[in-house]
Amino acid sequence: MRWDIFCQIVDNYGDAGVCWRLARSLTSLHGQDVRIFCDDLPTLNLLASGVDPEIKRRIDIQPWEASHHNSRHPVETPDVVIEAFGCDLPERYLAGLLIAPKKPIIINLEYLSAEPWIVDFHQKASPQAHGIPKYFFFPGFQENAGGILLDPIPEEPSLMEQFIPETLRASWNLLRPNTKRISVFCYPGIPLLKWLEDLTTLDENFDIVLTHGQLEQLQISSGHPIKTLDLPDSIQLISIPFVSQDEYDWVLSQCDFNIVRGEDSFVRAQLAGKPFIWHIYPQEDGAHKTKLAAFLDLYLEDASQELKHAVIAAMTWAMPSQWYQSIDEWSCHSKAWEADLLQKQADGGLAARLMGFVA
Ligand code: TRH
């Protein structure tokens, strides 16, 4: 089938991240023919670099405006149009669809959520005045939700360890032996410096892998140039550049603990099988708190009381000294959660469920 994915980048990288992962899943796992129309090609291309060139060659990345001239011959009208996160289709593109002899199906791809109500809305019709069939599709963890994006399915971290991406080689050379690794990709507004300082009270050494922009964020929040931050030797800060999506997935697999945010890195942290803090995107109406609680209900369903307390404390930014005593149990839990997730998504996850629905 032919797919047109519309990706409008509101802010951050998540919109591009999800659209790109969907496009590559449809192409590499299902042999589909995919076009992406995006209003911020530099961001999309940044994430997409480093992917297997054969897959990249098969995905047609176009600027948003190119959709205004829907140049495909009518017989090449897409079978499926994806409005990622409910972005509106350009009027001129829609007008082209209206006169096409064969009508596609439009899918409004929603945000990922663990909230129970999504399964009642998943795959429901959204009747439109223009008459083209449109449906809601809700990604989710539950078996009767839209699933999660699995591509690429992560390999064993010990196998991936051998393939250090070139862009990360210099940073990786700085890592110390017998030292725990924590990657950091979070929004401003959390007490990260205090959190790092608290790590120094633990009986471990930590290498902190700061993703692009995090060092500056720390500087701003502390009001100091980072060099004057007085962190003891047990903590080493290592800044890495913005890397491709595959390379970032690799980083997550190679750290002992990850701080992630948004929704794509959140899923990849789970698939890395490591403990993580999800710094969910804060919303003014507090909706993120409900979303986080819904996820924790699922994530901790089978956990011991002690682990439940520890994880909830960590995810709500209690200091590490308050929960780190549970880290071994949390590590085991993370591996089990990953295995369970993969088993529940053994049908192929989001891309396969989307294919099945459209068919
Ligand atoms: O960038 P995000 O914060 O995006 C978020 C989400 O889209 C969220 O749903 C939305 O409400 C909010 O923005 C406005 O986080 P997310 O979703 O994890 O996306 C980051 C993407 O960037 C992900 O695909 C991983 C990728 N990435 C790289 O490719 N290289 C990097 O170096 C890093 C740090 C990330």
Top mutation candidate among 9, 10, 11, 12 for ligand 1, by most atoms within 8 Å of CB? 12
In whole angstroms, what separates CA 229 from the centre of its chain?
31
The pLDDT assigned to 154 comes to: 83
The pLDDT assigned to 76 comes to: 65
CA atoms of 253 and 155, how far apart (whole Å) = 9
Burial of 330 from C-beta contacts in 10 A (0-12 / 13-18 / 19+): buried
Residues having CB closer than 6 A to ligand 1 are: 10-15, 17, 47, 111, 185, 211-212, 242-245, 248, 261-265, 281
Kindly give the number of the ligand 1 atom that is closest to the alpha carbon of 185: 34
Kindly give the number of the ligand 1 atom that is closest to the alpha carbon of 187: 3
Q: Which of 52-66, 125-139, 146-160 has the highest mean pLDDT?
A: 125-139
155 is catalytic: no
The catalytic residue among 4, 15, 110, 115 is 15
The pLDDT assigned to 330 comes to: 98
The pLDDT assigned to 321 comes to: 98
The pLDDT assigned to 51 comes to: 76
- Which residue owns the Cα nearest ligand 1 atom 18? 265
CA atoms of 136 and 110, how far apart (whole Å) = 7
The predicted-structure confidence for 259-309, as pLDDT tens digits, reads as follows 999 999 999 999 999 999 999 999 989 999 999 999 999 999 999 999 999
Q: Within 10 Å of residue 111's Cβ, how many Cβ atoms?
A: 17
DSSP assignment string, 213-256: THHHHHHHHHTS-GGG----TTEEEEE-----HHHHHHHHHHSS
Residue 161, pLDDT > 90, answer no
Write down the H helix ranges in the chain.
14-28, 41-48, 53-58, 91-99, 118-121, 157-160, 169-173, 192-199, 214-222, 245-254, 264-271, 287-299, 305-315, 327-344, 349-358
The pLDDT assigned to 75 comes to: 47
Average pLDDT over residues 4-24: 95
Share of the chain above pLDDT 90, in %: 84
The predicted-structure confidence for 196-244, as pLDDT tens digits, reads as follows 999 999 999 999 999 999 998 888 877 766 656 678 999 999 999 999 9
The predicted-structure confidence for 20-56, as pLDDT tens digits, reads as follows 999 999 999 999 999 999 999 999 999 998 777 888 8
Residue 328, pLDDT > 60, answer yes
Of 204 and 73, the structure prediction assigns the larger pLDDT to: 204
What's the predicted TM-score (pTM) here? 0.95
Share of the chain above pLDDT 70, in %: 96
The predicted-structure confidence for 111-137, as pLDDT tens digits, reads as follows 999 999 999 999 999 999 999 999 999
Q: Mapping DSSP to helix (H, G, I), strand (E, B) and coil, where does residue 328 land?
A: helix
Closest to 119 in 3D by CA, of 358, 359, 355, 353: 353
The pLDDT assigned to 106 comes to: 97
- Which residue owns the Cα nearest ligand 1 atom 34? 211
Residue 72, pLDDT > 60, answer no
263 is catalytic: yes
Ligand 1 mean position, distance from CA 95 (Å): 32
Top mutation candidate among 43, 259, 264 for ligand 1, by most atoms within 8 Å of CB? 264
CA atoms of 177 and 250, how far apart (whole Å) = 19
